[in-house]
A and B are shown apart, each in its own frame.
Chain A
Amino acid sequence: MSPSSAVAEPVAPAARPGRYPLALFRSELQLVFGRARTWVLLAVLAGVPLLIGIAIKLSGSEGGGEGFIGQVAGNGLFLIVASLGLSLPFFLPTAVTVIAGESLAGESSLGTLRNLLTAPAGRSRLLAAKMVALIVFCLAATLTIWLSGLIVGFALFPVGDVLLLSGTTIPLGEGLLRALGIAVVIALSLLGLAGIGLFVSSLTSTPLAAMAATFGTFIVLGILTAIPQIDVIHPWLLMFRWTSFADLLRDPPYWGAIGKNLLLQAGYLTVFYAAAWARITSRDIV
């Protein structure tokens, strides 16, 4: 994934790593998860299943509606799937955009970037640590929804065997595992956006600008995905296969589209991570 390992060599040939190269990664996680802002974001995400659950409970519907939402009243487990699916178009990208936009631009605006670099963190390693923290955040975000959906779903609704899209039924335990798989797939689906955010964040010293630009890019990609005239480029667009997570609820799971989605995310991540690397390693840090 990281081009740094291969390309950074000629830049610092003598750069033998110290004995504790992972300390920075741990510190980076502390930085992301040691901030109130992160916990507010996660709390908002945890609130999604709660809101949906309460709304369905209050409306008293017996589960007649279409899609996953319509199944929640009959089986609380679908609250997890419905919440993950409904968070994907907006809440999750927003959360990722905030954290990714903050990552390098935040350090730059505080001036802590120069402290890190004279420590020395090493620019490539710092970027890798930022990326790892972003990946962990993506996972934390979707797992938060999974957990909150589990608790709220089990508290408010009956639970039982899980009806798959293909019309077959699996036991609850397997259903929970598949929902967990969906959480992981959605987290991985966010990585392309995280890569874009990291790159944009390396361009500026203003975290808000980085967030706005990343979210703007996300919106533009979304609009492009909705224009049928340019469907030739659709398979190349970031969100084109985002809905493939539902393929985990087929019998057996259909991996084709999920695989393509993950490849696409990997492609975006590679390109934008490489760009962020080129930027951060050549940039004047003032």
Chain B
Amino acid sequence: MGATQRSRRWLVPVAAVAVVAGVGTLGPVVADASPKLPGISAQELLAKVQTAKVDGLSGTVQSSADLGLPALPGVAGGSDSPSGAVTELLSGKHTARVAFAAPDKARVSVLDTMAERVWTMDGKSAWAYDSAEREAVKLNLPAHQPGKPAAGTPKSYDPQSVAKQFLDAIDPSTKVDVSGTEKVAGRDAYKLRLIPRADQTTVGSVTLAVDSKTWVPLQVTVLPRTGKDPAVQVGFSQVSFDVPAASTFAFTPPKGVKVTEPKTPTTRPDRPAKPIDPKAVPGKPNLKAGNEPTVIGEGWSAVVLVRGAELTGANGPLDQLLAGAQQVQGSWGKGKIVTSKMVNVLLTDDGRVFAGLVTPQTLQDAAAKAPR
């Protein structure tokens, strides 16, 4: 047996690498090949979405957010403040189990690493449970409590005309089309795509994957103007439209778990943040506001202005961020601009902060127009 023959054996591990990498990267793509569905117009699809009515569902939701914010070692999630929890949910990847039963039962559990945060309501009371602290918060719900968005309000209207009105209303700013089909959580879905017409925004498109049978949106994908990877994607990885058993929503505080019961139901429990809403689009970056924010412009190119934000101090990561920020100036003064894939922020030297899902130039224009 010659040396060449023996060295040929190394083709086996090389092939193994190729197969493993192939299965790992292409596998999901092949599985998610576009299904064949009858054609549908955007208006029809929108109308169907409004008629969507499910009595219950349960499933697993995966969310991933890559807003292109610079990653800083040591600041990844896990903050104890409520705002920290929100930003934590808006960054990185999360998995949650959701269940819903009409009209007012819902449960969301965020599957954290070696921990779980649960929010559940069975119509009469709501519970928030944090396994890391082993603490539960109970809220007694007022008689009427809005359920999940999918519950809708049983009003009689013509979905077709509402859909048309909506499309007409947003047409100047947004192009709406059905961009194809897709498999989401093993179900055939239409893709309803919204593309901003304005080029001031960093949002490339927002796509809703709408289930072709129940007309429930299964996934939301936000693409930036540049690049192919979604900035935000929230959707079901597995879903069932069977009505979950009532016991799913019940919560019995186990032995050894501290239960608190705030008097006023409006107070939110401290540590558990608000549940992931599959339809939620990420909000603005979390800044310590000096006073109420103002919105400049409208639609996709809206810019939020916050005054008197405290930018200095012992905030290590922020200083790090600012150190690398680009220095800009204009008629509005001087400042620093922090850019990312989607969110851009302009910090002026006089303490104003402009932020939005818009281009840096749009931020500067907004600053020029803004009252001092």
State whether the Cβ of A27 lies closer than 8 Å to any Cβ in chain B: no
Query: Within the assembled complex, what's the spacing in Å between the Cα atoms of A172 and B12?
Result: 47
Query: Within the assembled complex, what's the spacing in Å between the Cα atoms of A246 and B76?
Result: 21
Query: Within the assembled complex, what's the spacing in Å between the Cα atoms of A263 and B116?
Result: 24
Query: Within the assembled complex, what's the spacing in Å between the Cα atoms of A263 and B27?
Result: 12
Partner of A163 from the list B6, B17, B109, B256 (CB cut-off 8 Å) is: B256
Knowing A271-B16, A278-B9, say if A163 contacts B76 (CB, 8 Å): no
State whether the Cβ of B228 lies closer than 8 Å to any Cβ in chain A: no
Prevailing SS type, chain B contact patch:
mixed
Query: Within the assembled complex, what's the spacing in Å between the Cα atoms of A258 and B257?
Result: 27
Query: Within the assembled complex, what's the spacing in Å between the Cα atoms of A7 and B13?
Result: 11
Knowing A167-B118, A274-B12, say if A267 contacts B254 (CB, 8 Å): no
Q: Is A167 in contact with B114, judged by CB distance below 8 angstroms?
A: no
Shortest C-beta distance, A229 to chain B (Å), equals: 5
Closest to A281 in B: B9
State whether the Cβ of A67 lies closer than 8 Å to any Cβ in chain B: yes
Q: Is B254 in contact with A246, judged by CB distance below 8 angstroms?
A: no
State whether the Cβ of B368 lies closer than 8 Å to any Cβ in chain A: no
State whether the Cβ of A47 lies closer than 8 Å to any Cβ in chain B: no
Query: Within the assembled complex, what's the spacing in Å between the Cα atoms of A142 and B255?
Result: 29
Knowing A228-B71, A250-B111, A277-B12, say if A267 contacts B24 (CB, 8 Å): yes
Query: Within the assembled complex, what's the spacing in Å between the Cα atoms of A274 and B16?
Result: 7
Report the tally of A-B residue pairs with Cβ distances under 8 A.
108
Query: Within the assembled complex, what's the spacing in Å between the Cα atoms of A7 and B10?
Result: 11
Shortest C-beta distance, A110 to chain B (Å), equals: 24
State whether the Cβ of A222 lies closer than 8 Å to any Cβ in chain B: no
Query: Within the assembled complex, what's the spacing in Å between the Cα atoms of A68 and B115?
Result: 9
Knowing A66-B132, A270-B20, say if A167 contacts B73 (CB, 8 Å): no
The number of residues on chain A lying at the interface, defined by a beta carbon within 8 Å of a beta carbon of chain B, is 44
8 A Cβ contacts from A158-208 to B: 160-161, 163, 165-169
Shortest C-beta distance, A196 to chain B (Å), equals: 12
Q: Is B95 in contact with A278, judged by CB distance below 8 angstroms?
A: no
Q: Is B114 in contact with A166, judged by CB distance below 8 angstroms?
A: no
Q: Which 10 A-B pairs have the closest CB atoms?
A: A228-B71, A282-B6, A275-B13, A274-B13, A246-B114, A165-B116, A274-B16, A267-B20, A278-B9, A165-B131
Can you list 8 pairs linking A and B with CB atoms under 8 Å apart? A7-B12, A163-B256, A167-B257, A254-B95, A267-B23, A267-B24, A282-B6, A282-B9
Contacts beyond the supplied A231-B71, A247-B111: 9 A-B pairs with Cβ under 8 Å: A3-B12, A11-B1, A160-B255, A165-B115, A167-B253, A256-B237, A271-B13, A271-B16, A278-B9
Chain B residues within 8 Å of A, Cβ to Cβ? 1, 6-7, 9-10, 12-13, 15-17, 19-20, 23-24, 60, 71-73, 76, 92, 95, 97, 109, 111, 113-116, 118, 127, 129, 131-134, 136, 237-238, 251-257
